[in-house]
């Protein structure tokens, strides 16, 4: 019987089929399937895996309790913010994928970090996208200090592997994994097959030689890391670098971390000569000037609490259906809060446009922001100013009731540190205990109505003209 010479791989989802389809039977994408020669894939894998195929003569497994505990000496990336997101530094032999939109600053971050690591360890920076001269210019712009940083501008994975074997660096940066390619495989650089094979080859070598790999990955149109899931399974840590391209703040988050907590957040600012750490991030997300339509919340990102201003603008609509836009908050969440305010507090919000934004380009997904959002909306609608120094934390249920949220003590401690004096919390947050630990005037409310009366110091009232819904 003849062997199948080709397989067909979907470039969107990575599904493999034995025949060509115009539309991927797995993900439904059109024209995403390309042919790949199976023999080349096969022979490559075989070649790389040969040394690990020696016949075992003794028992290979051992009892878990008898394993010797190994002390992991993490390497510092040179930046506390980066280290925090990694879970305390770079673990030798680990593979870290850094994803993000083009132009957000991935190359800058990694070149800066590589330069800093190279002060103590050997580091190889592989630039597959820019020429050596371009990287050198950037390095100069970043005021890169003299360090043991080796640069290789190369796109062929075999040469990169060869150089890694020769140099045996402690850390290697690959910028980017999509730009590398293996000429023995069909498919353009960046295609699923290429990305998978290149990453697998690098991973094998990195684990063998205990090299920490930092891979740059591109993000596709819909915000996924390109080579969906293929890379995420392979690597130990997945970080995303994000931020508003028109603002200078950049957020580094961990999405997956085999060596630390996920959803950790590191904050940087892009300046004329590179990225600078932001040590006191709450300051950039706060306005500090009371005005109508502004409320302050304390959001939690991983182990970190951040005070953030929520800004709302409510104005009478001139459209048939009112306009609602939300930046940094999910639009559906805003719709839900507006509906609760309309129903429970009798406000005629359906005749008003609503624009909502979080300061500083931060995105908050957790429901703990609900009460702050509601307060900002009511404050703008009624043109009432929330007193300075007040924070609002709580989830709003569909019936207008408030629900307690997690990590409340950490949030209040951050508020206290920043000089806030009052906090409005949902009933059941354990205020008795909290009052012993933080020096804030804490008020408890069981419903949204009650919370707003406490925060504003007056009843925002119902709309008389509004018929009951």
Binding site for ligand TYD (CB under 6 A): 100, 102-108, 138, 141-142, 270, 272-274
Cβ proximity to Mg ion: between 107 and 248 the closer is 107
**Could you give the residue ranges of the DSSP H alpha helices within 170-243?**
192-209, 230-234
* Residues within the interface to Mg ion (CB under 5 A): 107
The binder of 103, among Mg ion, ligand TYD, none, by C-beta within 5 to 8 A per type, is ligand TYD
From ligand TYD, Mg ion, none, interface partner of 100 (C-beta below 5 to 8 A by class): ligand TYD
- The item of ligand TYD, Mg ion, none sharing an interface with residue 439, based on CB under 5 to 8 Å by kind, is none
Cβ 169 to Mg ion, closest distance in Å? Answer: 20
Nearer to ligand TYD, 56 or 103 (CB): 103
- What does 104 bind: ligand TYD, Mg ion, none (CB cut-off 5 to 8 Å by kind)? ligand TYD
8 A C-beta contact, residue 114 and residue 280: no
DSSP H/E element including 442? strand 441-445
Q: Which of 241, 179, 177, 170 is nearest to 215 (CA)?
A: 177
**The entry of Mg ion, ligand TYD, none that residue 272 binds, CB within 5 to 8 Å by partner kind:** ligand TYD
- Residue appearing with tokens 């791989």: 9
How does DSSP assign 128-172, residue by residue?
A: SSS-HHHHHHHHHHTTPPS--EEEEE--BHHHHHHHHHHH--SEE
Count of H-run helices and E-run strands, the chain:
12, 21
Largest CA distance in the chain: 87
In the complex, what is the shortest distance from the CB of residue 108 to ligand TYD, in angstroms, rounded to a whole number? 3
Which does residue 145 bind out of Mg ion, ligand TYD, none, counting CB within 5 to 8 angstroms by kind?
A: none
Decide whether 127 or 413 has the Cβ nearer to ligand TYD. 127
- Nearer to ligand TYD by Cβ, of 219 and 326: the residue is 219
Q: How far apart are CA 25 and CA 51, in angstroms?
A: 37
CB of 112 to ligand TYD, least distance (A): 9
For ligand TYD, the closer CB: 22 or 103: 103
Partner whose binding site includes residue 274, from ligand TYD, Mg ion, none (CB under 5 to 8 Å by kind): ligand TYD
Smallest distance, Å, CB 173 to ligand TYD?
11
Nearer to ligand TYD, 220 or 273 (CB): 273
Dihedral sign, CA of 60, 63, 67, 72? positive
With CA atoms as reference, report the closest residue to 14 among 216, 204, 187, 256: 187
- Whichever of 270 and 334 has its CB closer to ligand TYD, that residue is 270
CB of 101 to ligand TYD, least distance (A): 7
Nearest approach, Cβ of 178 to ligand TYD (angstroms)? 12
3-state secondary structure at position 312: strand
Which residues does 439 contact at the CB level (< 8 Å), separation at least 6? Answer: 416
Q: Are 225 and 242 in contact (CB under 8 A)?
A: no
* Contact of 190 with 52, CB cutoff 8 Å: no
* Distance in Å, CB of 176 to ligand TYD, minimum: 8
Alpha helices in 54-129 (DSSP H): 80-86, 106-117
Q: Using CB positions, name the residue nearest to Mg ion.
A: 107
The smaller minimum CB distance to ligand TYD, of residues 272 and 468, is found at 272
Residue 23, contacted partner among ligand TYD, Mg ion, none, CB below 5-8 A by kind: none
- Residue 406 interacting partner from ligand TYD, Mg ion, none (CB closer than 5 to 8 Å by kind): none
Question: Which residue lies nearer to Mg ion by CB, 89 or 99?
Answer: 99
* Neighbour-count burial for 431-465, b at 16+ CB within 10 Å, e otherwise: beebeeebebebbbbebbbbbbbbbbeeebeeeee
């Amino acid at each position: 019987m003849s062997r199948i010479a080709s397989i067909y791989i979907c470039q969107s989802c990575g599904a493999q089929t034995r025949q060509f389809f115009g539309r991927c039977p797995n993900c439904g994408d059109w024209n995403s399937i390309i042919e790949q020669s199976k023999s080349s894939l096969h022979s490559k894998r075989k070649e790389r895996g040969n040394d690990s195929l020696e016949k075992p003569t003794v028992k290979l497994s051992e009892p878990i309790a008898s394993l010797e505990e190994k002390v992991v000496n993490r390497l510092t990336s040179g930046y506390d913010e980066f280290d925090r997101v990694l879970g305390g530094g770079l673990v030798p032999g680990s593979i870290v994928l850094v994803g993000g939109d083009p132009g957000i600053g991935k190359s800058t971050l990694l070149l800066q970090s590589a330069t800093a690591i190279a002060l103590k360890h050997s580091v190889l920076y592989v630039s597959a996208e820019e020429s050596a001269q371009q990287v050198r210019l950037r390095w100069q712009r970043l005021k890169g200090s003299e360090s043991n940083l080796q640069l290789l501008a190369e796109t062929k994975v075999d040469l990169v592997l060869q150089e890694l074997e020769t140099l045996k660096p402690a850390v290697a940066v690959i910028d980017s994994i999509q730009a590398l390619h293996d000429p023995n495989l069909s498919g353009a650089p960046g295609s699923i097959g290429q990305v998978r094979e290149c990453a697998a080859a690098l991973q094998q070598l990195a684990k063998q030689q205990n090299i920490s790999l930092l891979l740059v990955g591109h993000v596709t149109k819909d915000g996924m890391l390109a080579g969906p899931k293929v890379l995420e399974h392979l690597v130990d840590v997945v970080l995303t670098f994000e931020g508003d391209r028109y603002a200078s703040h950049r957020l580094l988050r961990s999405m997956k971390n085999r060596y630390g907590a996920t959803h950790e957040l590191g904050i940087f600012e892009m300046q004329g000569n590179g990225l600078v750490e932001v040590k006191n991030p709450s300051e950039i997300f706060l306005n500090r000037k009371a005005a109508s339509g502004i409320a302050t919340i304390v959001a939690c990102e991983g182990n970190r609490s951040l005070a953030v201003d929520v800004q709302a603008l409510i104005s009478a609509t001139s459209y048939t259906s009112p306009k609602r836009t939300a930046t940094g908050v999910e639009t559906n969440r805003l719709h839900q809060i507006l509906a609760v305010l309309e129903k429970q507090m009798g406000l005629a919000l359906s005749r008003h446009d609503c624009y909502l934004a979080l300061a500083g380009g931060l995105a908050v997904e957790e429901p703990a922001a609900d009460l702050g959002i509601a307060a900002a909306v009511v404050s703008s609608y009624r043109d009432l100013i929330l007193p300075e120094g007040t924070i609002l934390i709580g989830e709003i249920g569909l019936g207008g009731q408030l629900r307690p949220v997690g990590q409340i003590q950490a949030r209040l401690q951050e508020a206290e540190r920043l000089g806030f004096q009052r906090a409005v919390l949902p009933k059941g947050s354990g205020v008795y205990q909290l009052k012993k630990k933080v020096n804030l005037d804490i008020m408890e409310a069981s419903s949204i109505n009650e919370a707003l009366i406490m925060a504003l110091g007056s009843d925002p009232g119902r709309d008389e003209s509004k018929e009951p819904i």
